[in-house]
Amino acid sequence: MENYKTGFYTYIIRCADNSLYTGYTTDIKRRIKEHKKGINCKYTKSRKYKSLEALFLSESKSNAMKLEAFIKQMSRNKKLLIIENPELLVKDFMNKKNIEIVYIDKNNILTG
């Protein structure tokens, strides 16, 4: 999972109303642009994209979707906790689902 250009990403974004949205994609740069423009995104179209908060890489679409579902069932407070300390999610997901994911510094992806 060394190549960050391609892969299966699960992400958390913050909207202008301070709500959090979780999704998955194979092209994070394209997907963030879509969220910013309100294209192909019902939730963020009305709530307006503010920032990328967390980003994780999985080895398969299935694993990225499982992680998305795992995050979506969390309380807002737990989501805020993993945004502050993403390694907690990496360990928790591995322990509960036996699936490896990698936290990616969002600044490296969006500027690289």
The per-residue pLDDT for range 52-87, each reduced to its tens digit, is 999 999 999 999 999 999 999 999 999 999 999 999
**What is the tally of structural domains in the chain?**
1
Spatial contact of 18 and 76, defined as CB atoms under 8 Å apart:
no
In a domain, 47, yes or no: yes
Task: Give the pLDDT of residue 108.
Answer: 77
Q: Note whether 44 and 52 are within 8 A (CB).
A: no
Domain hosting 32: range is 24-111
**Closest by Cα among 19, 31, 16 to 109:** 31
Model's pTM, two decimal places?
0.91
Bridge partner list, 58 = 8
Sequence length of the chain is 112
**pLDDT 10s digits, 9-44:** 999 999 999 999 999 999 999 999 999 999 999 999
Q: Are 101 and 93 in contact (CB under 8 A)?
A: yes
Residue 35 maps to a domain: yes
